[in-house]
Structure 1
């Protein structure tokens, strides 16, 4: 089961006189990841290399290191530690000894992996977004059952007939919640998975 971080994690290691500092944190979207790199990057360091993974989205940056020797190993460390919604920055101060491509890959990937290994993690629940609509008369009873299925209301709007909710709930609970919703609304309500492409 993939996990993310509960907060900022750091790890430092000196490798052949070069100092490497890894910083990792939870991010929910690419903008947050880029803001994290901007905030924690060190301007007087030799390199600020990074990677993030948010579901199927990922990016990495070698920041002047030879192509494929820094950002990609950091991303591989994220995947190897089964992390998601995570950004990792590895800052390097060059110490005068060249590490070579293999050494760089081991250094960046190893420091990133160790940072994530030591970090406090929280398990990620695979969630689904569902649009539903029910009449005002059914609203209270349906709302009282949401927590039972781990569902929360992300958006709420009203029309002349009733309430329209955008719910977020664990994917594994969707079938049971859908069945109960149909029963509670006597088949009068609308229940459909939201278009996942329109996600956050």
Structure 2
């Protein structure tokens, strides 16, 4: 389990867990294949470039960028042979300027590679900047996103026969469920709460009401948790 870190952020937006997301755009006969990967670290981000170089080995360019960390402190980009400043930076800026909600730019833990197949028509510097930027923006319009929050995990031990009902009632009450474990006699439900005492107190009261006081809330520590948007 992750503990509290030095990040000042308590929430940001990222790709939903799952396979790489792909989108293709054609601009004046050139193909721009955009691939997005959720990347919590540089190794994962760089592996996307390596993977796509092998898959699209006959493409001229594999331009890339990534932004990592709750505070978006790690940022890199590469033009990969395109004229300087026409690919990597536009890709990175498309990530950094992406609004998860109006006025909020907090996308992170995302790597992008745009594979370009030249179509025989020169686009010029301005055309390349627009094409790379638009290819990433179009992919982001369709990609599945989640909100990632730093929350306090709490455990609830209940009898197996009561677990399903309690989990459904907690979900119906708006609580974020973060996992389930099974023991010989009890099921352990994990619920993710805002990391403050008021939220803990409210959850304890709600749990007491739902279980007639038979279950208790056990704080486990803080962790980053995906919350559907």
TM-score bucket of the superposed structures, by smaller chain: 0.5 to 0.7
Secondary structure at the residue paired with 1:109?
A: helix
Contact 2:167/2:189 (<8 A) preserved: no
1:90 pairs with 2:124: no
Shift of 1:49: 0.5
Distance 1:168 1:72, change over 3 A: farther
> For 2:14 and 2:155, how far apart are their aligned partners in 1?
32
Contact 2:181/2:189 (<8 A) preserved: yes
> For 1:154 and 1:69, how far apart are their aligned partners in 2?
44
TM-score w.r.t. structure 2 length? 0.56
Q: For 1:81-120, what per-residue CA distance to the aligned partner results, in whole angstroms no more than 9, with x for missing partners? A: 43645443222345484834x5543332233224434xx3
Contact 1:20/1:90 (<8 A) preserved: no
Q: CA RMSD for the aligned pairs?
A: 4.4
Point out where structure 1 has 5 or more consecutive residues left out of the alignment.
Answer: none
Larger helix percent: 1
> For 1:21 and 1:146, how far apart are their aligned partners in 2?
45
1:190 pairs with 2:207: no
| Equivalent in 163, 167, 178 of residue 153 of structure 1 | 178
1:29 pairs with 2:40: yes
Shift of 1:44: 2.3
Partner of 1:113: 137
> For 1:182 and 1:64, how far apart are their aligned partners in 2?
63
Contact 2:25/2:135 (<8 A) preserved: yes
